[in-house]
Amino acid sequence: MRKYFLLIILFLSSAFQLMAQPTADPSTMESHGKIYVVMAVCITIFTGIVIYLIRIDSKIASLEKKND
Amino acid sequence: MQRSWWKILAVLLLLYTFTAGFLVQVPVIGNLYQTIRNLFFHVPMWFGQMILLLVSMIFSIRYLRSGNLVDDIKAREFARTGIIFGILGLVTGAIWATYTWGEPWSNDPKQIAVAIALLIYLAYFVLRNSMPDIDKRARVSSVYNIFGYFIYVPLIMVLPRLVQSLHPGGEGVEGNPALGGQDLDPAMRMVFWPAVFGWTLLGVWMTTLLIRISKLKEKNWIHA
């Protein structure tokens, strides 16, 4: 469980850090017709769904344990 | 939670899809422009549906051979996720079509065919719920599920290719040239197949959750 969260958070934080770095081109998020904004939104939604799935999964697992 | 390597793989593949899917250089084809990126999101819904429904059919065959009610539960839940993928594919397709074909529903042969296919699978659940006897229900709906798959495949794979279609691959495609099988851009292929695999695995994950809930709910019947 913790492993999954760590994996996702690691992945995300690295991605956002890359975006947030003040580079020579200050407008990374604003470039290419602001497509990166859409990408960030999609990744955020997807991460939320995955965390939700993991929580459901662990809830079922605890129910299964109780039923054994 | 049940730890499995393929759940991690699904998440990583989809994170890759959502990143590379927006960043990869795409060719400009017809009036598609950037919407061609929908290939990584809309099309995997259908690939995923085909795979999930295939698995559902295999479990139906297994039920008929074994008589084990767990196989029937698995067939049922895989069909359920398959329907959800189909509805999502239909809706995303309609959104895409609004801006490329000019209207959300243009009675394209593939649109009509998948609508029928979805109704066939919805009927599977109507059929199931119409029978109170557990064993009879499992047997009859297994047979229906196997027939259903062999109607579903020609409906979405064969028929749309025999007639004129707005979708790529149809006979005499005109008006909106789009991607066919062979001329899929190599860079896009590098995102497309991981996307298909990732979305399908996500569907499998959701299905296993449904199966585990059903097993908990129906354990009195299963062991009876």
pLDDT of residue B172: 54
pLDDT of residue A17: 53
Match 């798959």 to its residue by tokens: B149
- Rg of chain A on CA atoms, in Å: 17
Amino acid at B135: D
Interface residues of B toward A, Cβ cutoff 8 Å, are 1-3, 7-8, 11-12, 14-15, 18-19, 22-23, 34, 205-206, 209, 212-213, 216, 219
Positive or negative: CA dihedral B1, B3, B8, B14: negative
Amino acid at B221: W
pLDDT of residue A9: 58
For B5-25, what is each residue's pLDDT tens digit? Answer: 999 999 999 999 999 998 888
pLDDT of residue A14: 56
Q: Is the pLDDT of residue A29 over 60?
A: yes
Q: Give the CA distances from residue B154 to residues B36, B159, B183, in Å, rounded to whole numbers and listed in that order.
A: 26, 6, 23
pLDDT of chain B, 224 residues: tens digit per residue = 778 899 999 999 999 999 999 888 888 877 777 888 888 999 999 999 999 999 999 999 999 999 999 999 999 999 999 999 999 999 999 998 888 888 899 888 889 999 999 999 999 999 999 999 999 999 999 999 999 999 999 998 888 777 777 777 655 554 344 455 555 778 888 899 999 999 999 999 999 999 999 999 888 877 75
pLDDT band of A19, cuts 50, 70, 90 = low
For A32, the token pair is: 């290419």
On whether any CB of chain B is under 8 Å from the CB of A42, the answer is: yes
**Average pLDDT rounded to a whole number, residues A29-57:** 85
Decide if B202 contacts B54 (C-beta within 8 A): no
pLDDT of residue B175: 39
For B36, the token pair is: 């061609």
Q: A-chain residues within 8 Å CB-CB of B205? A: 53, 57
pLDDT of residue A25: 57
Task: Kindly determine whether residue A1 and residue B11, on different chains, have CB atoms separated by under 8 Å.
Answer: no
Decide if B178 contacts B168 (C-beta within 8 A): yes
Partner residue facing A64 (CB), from B8, B23, B216: B216
So what's the ipTM on this one? 0.71
Partner residue facing B15 (CB), from A38, A43, A60: A43
pLDDT of residue B203: 96
Between B10 and A33, residue with greater pLDDT: B10
Distance CA(B10)–CA(B156), nearest Å, equals: 26
Q: Is the pLDDT of residue A8 over 70?
A: no
Distance CA(B49)–CA(B58), nearest Å, equals: 14
Match 């609004």 to its residue by tokens: B98
3-state helix, strand, coil in chain A (%, to 5): 80, 0, 20
pLDDT of residue B122: 96
pLDDT of residue B29: 76
On whether any CB of chain B is under 8 Å from the CB of A40, the answer is: no
Q: Is the pLDDT of residue A26 over 50?
A: yes
**pTM of the model as a whole:** 0.82
Angle between helices B186-217 and B42-66 (to 10 degrees): 40
